[in-house]
Amino acid sequence: MADQVIDNLRAEMKKDRFDALVAHSLDNATYTAGFQVPSHAQNRFRRTITVLAGDRFGCQIVVNVEEALAREKSRFKDIRSYNQFTENPADLLADALIEGGAESARVAIELDYLPAMDYIRLCERLPKATFVHARDLYFRTRMVKTDDEIAILKQIGELTERVVAEVIAGLRPGVREQQVGAEIMNRMLEAGADAVSYQVGSGIRSGIINCKPTDKVIEAGDVVRIEVLGDKNGYRSNVTRTLVIGKPTKEQEQIWSVLIAARDKCEAMLKPGTRVPDLWSAYLEVCRAHDIEPSLKFLGHGIGRTIHEEPYLTDTRLVELKPGVTHTMEPLYMLPGRMGFHVEDMYRITNDGFEKMTGHLMPNDKLIEVAV
């Protein structure tokens, strides 16, 4: 089962002195196995589990209705299935850990996700094992992407930005937010995305951070925020653009110029070795110098198997950027009841700097103007 992701996870296990690593969550089990079990996200009574132990042992545990697909798609050759009505998947996990030599070992497991009843059963079956949370190990490993992961992220990022540009190019006053959302969905799926979610907010609704589209009609003078999150082969995109229907006011231009100046200052700092808290401090410094207090407590976030991964670009993440880290930057400033401003693009850290994975097809350095 030679694979870079598996090799990276085993290396991190050794670094933290773990004898085994277990994932239950949708994102970490999918990351480890290399494919998403379809019913994992929809049925909370079905467990999907990946197990790594020692230098060689590895298996995936799935409900029996997913066994055939798992054998076809999983990185794991050892697929173990259970009947959800007659068998306890926690017992299959205990059996796998025993077989992998971890019966009395130090096991990294997702204690922030694992159902309590499964944890109780594991403790009954493996009373000599020590279970420690796997959250930090997975966050740390997933922060640095493989070349294959980066290629997929670039593909879905570019696809998403292209669709956003097409939708904005055809936008006119008089359409409803829901119509814009429907067009985003149709274009994304037609362009090859596996799934999509989106936000559309106009006028005072642009000042709502998570602005699900409504039947509000977009009017002349509205600020409009469009955020699109695509999915391709289990990897995500996140692209946001802010525009004005007609000519922006001086106040709107001033706010935007501050947000872009803050973003540009942080872009210039993107390279290996940059401390994440220093990015956040630089962002705050520019914004506060112009009496703007960011509406989010982070500048951006990692992106990969999920929309929000580590590193969050904020003062509590005491990590340095490394080659292969992929993330967003999203200056955001909300004036509730009036309007909101938000631009978001995707980045990756290279050996000597950074690559902007989106932001070339439809830059948002200035507020985008839509003709009335």
Burial class of residue 192, CB neighbours in 10 A (0-12, 13-18, 19+): exposed
The verdict on 187 and 122 lying in the same domain is no
pLDDT, one tens digit per residue, over 331-356 is: 999 999 999 999 999 999 999 999 99
Same domain, 132 and 160: no
CATH of the domain at 313: 3.90.230.10
Which residues of the chain are modeled with pLDDT < 70? 1-2
| Rounded Cα distance, 80 and 77, in Å | 10
- Are 306 and 342 found together in one domain? yes
The residue behind tokens 């066994």 is: 67
Do 234 and 290 belong to one domain?
Answer: yes
**What pLDDT score does 1 carry?**
45
Of 142, 163, 180, which marks where a domain is finished?
Answer: 142
Q: Note whether 156 and 138 are same-domain residues.
A: no
Give CB contacts under 8 A, 24+ apart, made by 76-79: 76/1, 76/33, 76/50, 77/1
Position 2 scores a pLDDT of 55
Last residue of a domain, one of 124, 142, 160: 142
* CB proximity list for 200: less than 8 A, separation 6 or greater: 177, 178, 180, 181, 184, 211, 212, 213, 224, 225, 226, 227
- Tell whether 94 and 175 lie within a shared domain: no
pLDDT, tens only, 45-68: 999 999 999 999 999 999 999 999
Number of domains in the chain: 2
The C-alpha atoms of residue 178 and residue 156 are separated, in whole angstroms, by 23
* Last-in-domain residue among 89, 109, 142: 142
Note whether 159 and 175 are same-domain residues: yes
117: domain CATH number?
A: 3.40.350.10
On whether both 183 and 137 belong to a single domain, the answer is no
- Do both 54 and 74 map to the same domain? yes
The domain of 76 spans 4-142
- Residues 179 and 278 placed together within one structural domain of the fold: yes
